[in-house]
Structure 1
Amino acid sequence: MTNPDWRVFYTRRDLPRPQTADPLIDTLWDLDDWLDDHKILDATPYLISPDGRYDTDLNEYFTTELAGSPEDTQRAHASDLKLWLNFLWRSRGRKDWRHATPEDRAAYKQWRTADPRGPHIDWTTWDREVASVNSFYKWAVNPRRKYAAENPILQRESRARDAHGRRGGGLTPAEASHTGPRKEVVWLTPHMYRTWRDVGLLGLTSEGLADPSFRGRFAARNGTYCDLMIRTGLRLCEQTSLSVFELPHPVPGKQNVRTWLPWRIAKWGSARWVYLPASSLKAVWDYVEMERAEAIEDARDAGVYDRIRDPLIITDRAKPFVVVEGERLTVDQLGHAERRRLLIDTPDGLEPAALWINENGLPSKGSCWQEAFKTANKRTRRLRLGVRAHPHALRHSYAVITLEQLWRGHIQDLAEMNPAQRRTHQMIFGDPLNWVRLRLGHRSVTTTLRYLHALQELELETRLALIPNDWEPTGVDSDESTPGTDSDLEVLSR
């Protein structure tokens, strides 16, 4: 009996061998060798059809095009593709994905968004699904492969702009909604963030006291991780894959110390300088020298690092490189999965090169941090604090607050200059919006513009908050703090 749906699975080595005397199982059970021969990493998704088939053309997309992408990205693409393939199977007469047409895609849109019997997804979800399926078909119709006859996603010229405001060119899905509401930028003021961190992650009470019922062994680590995220704007996948070689040492007298984010772990290859505030950098080094060191020592005693399959070992910390299949590679040439196998040979024994490790002394994964956010949100919800966060909310917070600070300083500087000086200032320091774009690793300034929209909406929201309910000018309590005001912004900038 076959399963009625397409299903997503994930590769994994060292699976237990079935307890059977069947010689066929012995013949087929060379999975690890097969994965090694094809250079397929653990946790790579693959799809199995409802009739139990492994489509080699389809699954090649995950082992080539998406190889090295963050696990969350691969999982999202697999999930979106599964939905599309299930629709073709159930509602379009078991049609093969290779022969899908724009008419099939139009029927799918009707089902997903408007059909009374359908799921009625919102436009944000639809746009993401369109982007995932379009990415797959752009790969599949490439002349070098020609796996599919055509891309069922209709295309149009992209209206995205580059850093200089010019049209970026190229094609983009014409079936993206463009009619749905602009996705709200969820961000936290410094006060809101501190409340969420202290109560949700660090286990304090709402009064700032220790909570005896809290059982968070790695609370300090989690707090430090999130502090770094909101102060740098790093994505979850980027920050999680940092190694100790990307952690700079504090520089006396410098408020910010920069480090280079390599293209192999930067989403979409957006390698860039990342600026670490001195206070956050100190906290990370405290974590390295205490919590991280203790976890590594426990893992050594338990023989954890000796059991790592196919490790990449750096023999000289001063010259961080490894040899992979005869090729010498530096740390910044290694991707997410390779870094999880990366160890440093020290006088005390092996230790992971990963900056962020879990309670077992092994490199952490994105799922570990997602769970930390969920646990913190459950705690703040239980205490009815009305504040929650997710990784991208911290990135949004960095963007909105940094943009606000830069615009204020930019406008103040320009106000004191004559026209010639203003031109010189613009040439040297550029546009605050573009500076934030570079820090976030956005390919188009259009993406960064949503944070400017958030500031514009905040201004209106703040003005409305100044109007009393009875429309009488009774004044405003000066102790009240509105989102984005000077008091909050100054605290975060310290």
Structure 2
Amino acid sequence: MDEWWLVFVPDPERWGPLPEEGVLGVRNLPAAVAAVGLQPGDPVFVRPDFVVDPELLEFVLSSEFLPLERETRRNYALDIRLLLTWLWRRGIPWRQAAESDLRAYREFRCDSPLNPSRISGTKWDREASAFTRLYRWAKVTPGPVDSQRRADRAADARSSRVSWLTPRTWGLWQDVGLRGLGPDGTPVPGWDGRTELRNTSFVGFTLSSGLRRQESGAILTFEVPSRPLRSGRYCHGQMARALSRSKRDRTFYASVESLRQVSAYAESERAWAVARAQAQGRYEKLPMMRLITKVTTGRTSTVHWVDRDGVQGRHDLSLLDWRERQWLFIEGPQGPEPASSRSAPPAIKESGPSRGDAELLAGG
């Protein structure tokens, strides 16, 4: 093999069944990974000889890399892996890479006609940031790349490209993309609308509130706004800091009409899906479930729960990220049901590793 590999530490509920005899001599692989200091989502760099690179493992656990957001760590790791492979194939140890090597790599990534997947200047700037962190941590001087140097930044980078839709075009987009209608407004033959109400209510709520997709998708049932403001057109809710990019609590507003659509979905499509999952025992098979026992309010709201083993826990509601929220359940009429934003919100008042990866993790 002539390329580097990346393995990401799975979330607790995604390890899957491990062999009783252990993996490559490791009896309890999740515990062994945690003992190293790795957390779910952390990348592990595996050399082409299938050995976990100890130096890059130190980088992943360093203050240069660990404080980054999980998705940023993932993106940076993918970028670094490509550079490591490119250098490996040329017999260049990554610590010994010179400015000329990084210039050649940039030319290949951005401009070379031999590269069938050339990238934009904006993408290169992100990669340069990842490489800068790596070489700064490794104390390589002079650094072969520095995202603060004008020469190492792309001149054609664009921070964003925003396209605005008129209300008419937006309505057409929803009809064609979410409701299965043709441009003339008639139903398209063969349209499978099993999740039509879910999709349209989610998009309507997200558009009305101005929330990001991850934010609106991680709101719990009891966080969905329900009481209209004095004008009667909008409700206000609180966005948890763990879900926001700014890492601060903030207030958001959503139209009563969009919330009615969410309630309609929760009382129909969603209720049917939950009932079917309960009847089939799907929730009992989940490896991670925390049943909410109470939510206390005050200066801060605290969620109290009990897990499958009867162990009680609690945490500040505003500090629960979207993954932890997926583990939360509430006691419904027919048994436990998810408490995520895809669950039933209150009605609007009128005044929701594979085994191969595990073996690679044990290979170092």
Deviation readout 1:345-401 (Å, 9 max, x if unpaired):
3453212121126xxxxx7xxxxxxxxxxxxxxxxxxxxxxxxxxxxxxxxxxxxxx
Residue 258 to residue 59, structure 1, CA distance change in 2 (3 Å): farther
Specify which structure has the bigger relative contact order, considering alpha-carbon pairs within 8 angstroms and separated by 6 or more residues: 2
Deviation readout 1:396-435 (Å, 9 max, x if unpaired):
xxxxxxxxxxxxxxxxxxxxxxxxxxxxxxxxxxxxxxxx
Deviation at 1:238, TM superposition (A): 2.1
Helix, strand or coil at the partner of 2:162: coil
Deviation readout 1:52-91 (Å, 9 max, x if unpaired):
12234534666785579455x4543332222122222223
- Unpaired runs of at least 5, structure 2: 344-351, 353-364
Counterpart in the other structure of 1:418? none
Residue 39 to residue 345, structure 1, CA distance change in 2 (3 Å): farther
Helix, strand or coil at the partner of 2:145: coil
Residue 106 to residue 68, structure 1, CA distance change in 2 (3 Å): closer
Larger radius of gyration: 1
Decide which of 34, 52, 55 is 2:53's aligned counterpart. 55
Deviation at 1:327, TM superposition (A): 6.6
Counterpart in the other structure of 2:262? 284
Instruction: Measure, in 2, the Cα distance between the counterparts of 1:153 and 1:26.
Output: 38
Please report the TM-score for the alignment, with normalisation by the length of structure 2: 0.76
Helix, strand or coil at the partner of 1:273: strand
Residue 349 to residue 52, structure 1, CA distance change in 2 (3 Å): same
Residue 173 to residue 86, structure 1, CA distance change in 2 (3 Å): farther
Which protein has the bigger helix share? 1
1:343-362 to structure 2, matched below 5 A, reads 343-346=329-332, 348-356=334-342
Deviation at 1:232, TM superposition (A): 2.9
Contact 1:7 1:49 in 2 (8 A): yes
Instruction: Measure, in 2, the Cα distance between the counterparts of 1:228 and 1:60.
Output: 43
Contact 1:254 1:278 in 2 (8 A): yes
1:30 aligns with 2:62: no
Give, as a single letter, the amino acid of the residue that structure 2 aligns with 1:114.
Answer: D
Counterpart in the other structure of 1:321? 303
Instruction: Measure, in 2, the Cα distance between the counterparts of 1:290 and 1:232.
Output: 23
Instruction: Measure, in 2, the Cα distance between the counterparts of 1:251 and 1:330.
Output: 26
1:241 aligns with 2:206: no
Contact 2:41 2:74 in 1 (8 A): no
Contact 1:11 1:46 in 2 (8 A): yes
Deviation at 1:329, TM superposition (A): 0.8
Deviation at 1:216, TM superposition (A): 2.5
Helix, strand or coil at the partner of 1:316: strand
Q: Cα RMSD between the aligned structures?
A: 3.4
Instruction: Measure, in 2, the Cα distance between the counterparts of 1:66 and 1:289.
Output: 42
Contact 1:70 1:336 in 2 (8 A): no
1:225-304 to structure 2, matched below 5 A, reads 225-251=202-228, 253-269=231-247, 271-304=249-282
1:188 aligns with 2:165: yes
Decide which of 102, 107, 110 is 1:110's aligned counterpart. 107
Helix, strand or coil at the partner of 2:25: helix
Helix, strand or coil at the partner of 1:28: coil
- Unpaired runs of at least 5, structure 1: 142-146, 157-171, 358-362, 364-494
Residue 18 to residue 346, structure 1, CA distance change in 2 (3 Å): closer
Instruction: Measure, in 2, the Cα distance between the counterparts of 1:268 and 1:100.
Output: 36
Decide which of 127, 142, 146 is 1:154's aligned counterpart. 146
Helix, strand or coil at the partner of 2:270: helix
Instruction: Measure, in 2, the Cα distance between the counterparts of 1:24 and 1:313.
Output: 31
Give, as a single letter, the amino acid of the residue that structure 2 aligns with 1:78.
Answer: A
Give, as a single letter, the amino acid of the residue that structure 2 aligns with 1:33.
Answer: A
Deviation at 1:276, TM superposition (A): 0.9
Deviation at 1:179, TM superposition (A): 3.6
Contact 1:10 1:44 in 2 (8 A): yes
Residue 347 to residue 115, structure 1, CA distance change in 2 (3 Å): closer
Residue 136 to residue 275, structure 1, CA distance change in 2 (3 Å): farther
1:67-216 to structure 2, matched below 5 A, reads 69=69, 71=71, 73-91=72-90, 93-96=91-94, 98-118=95-115, 119-136=117-134, 141=137, 147-149=138-140, 152-154=144-146, 156=148, 175-180=152-157, 183-216=160-193
Deviation readout 1:216-268 (Å, 9 max, x if unpaired):
20111111111222233322222222222321104163322222221211125
Instruction: Measure, in 2, the Cα distance between the counterparts of 1:82 and 1:295.
Output: 40
Give, as a single letter, the amino acid of the residue that structure 2 aligns with 1:55.
Answer: D
Helix, strand or coil at the partner of 1:9: strand
Aligned-pair identity in percent equals: 28
Please report the TM-score for the alignment, with normalisation by the length of structure 1: 0.58
Counterpart in the other structure of 1:15? 16
Give, as a single letter, the amino acid of the residue that structure 2 aligns with 1:245.
Answer: F
Counterpart in the other structure of 1:4? 2
Instruction: Measure, in 2, the Cα distance between the counterparts of 1:183 and 1:260.
Output: 28
Helix, strand or coil at the partner of 1:275: strand
Residue 24 to residue 348, structure 1, CA distance change in 2 (3 Å): closer
Instruction: Measure, in 2, the Cα distance between the counterparts of 1:122 and 1:59.
Output: 29
Contact 1:131 1:173 in 2 (8 A): no
Instruction: Measure, in 2, the Cα distance between the counterparts of 1:286 and 1:66.
Output: 42
Residue 308 to residue 15, structure 1, CA distance change in 2 (3 Å): closer
Instruction: Measure, in 1, the Cα distance between the counterparts of 2:165 and 2:28.
Output: 50
